[in-house]
Amino acid sequence: MVFTYDVANKFAPKHKMRGNSSAITHIDFTLSGQHLMTNSLSYEILFFDTTTGKQETRGGSILKDEKWASWSCTLGFPVMGIFPPAADGSDINAVARSPDGTVSATADDFGTVKLFKYPCPVE
């Protein structure tokens, strides 16, 4: 579950964003801040509207052309190509997109840091 708070109102609780069936591992916001995406231990990619706190069940399609403020999620179309052959999905622990949006760096279970073109939908 993701909790949001109203910073301008003394951090008053705002929303509880529910939907992930396991622990959330990564979160990214759209450039506008109106949506966020979560990845979880059960390999879910969920999208939420930050203004309502509701899950966007069609987020994959309605946000497909959205610009993201950051990209640290290990799952999603722009990073599909970061996984080596026969990877089980847990091998990549961290992703960081460069500020100019052209390169991603990954850190894996083997102590390796790799650079990829961003987006990297295929290896």
Query: pLDDT per residue over 12-65, tens digit each?
Result: 999 999 999 999 999 999 999 999 999 999 999 999 999 999 999 999 999 999
What pLDDT sits at residue 12? 97
Using CB atoms within 10 A of its CB, is residue 49 exposed (0-12), middle (13-18) or buried (19+)? middle
Contact at 8 Å (CB) between 85 and 100? no
Of all residues in the chain, what percent carry a pLDDT higher than 90? 91
The pLDDT assigned to 3 comes to 97
Handedness of CA 36, 33, 68, 62 (dihedral sign): positive
Q: Could you tell me the residue ranges of all domains in the chain?
A: 1-70, 71-123
Side-chain-side CA neighbours of residue 57 (13 Å) = 1
pLDDT at 89: 83
Q: Which tokens belong to 98?
A: 């460069």
Query: Cα–Cα distance between 52 and 55 in angstroms, integer?
Result: 9
| pTM assigned to the model | 0.92
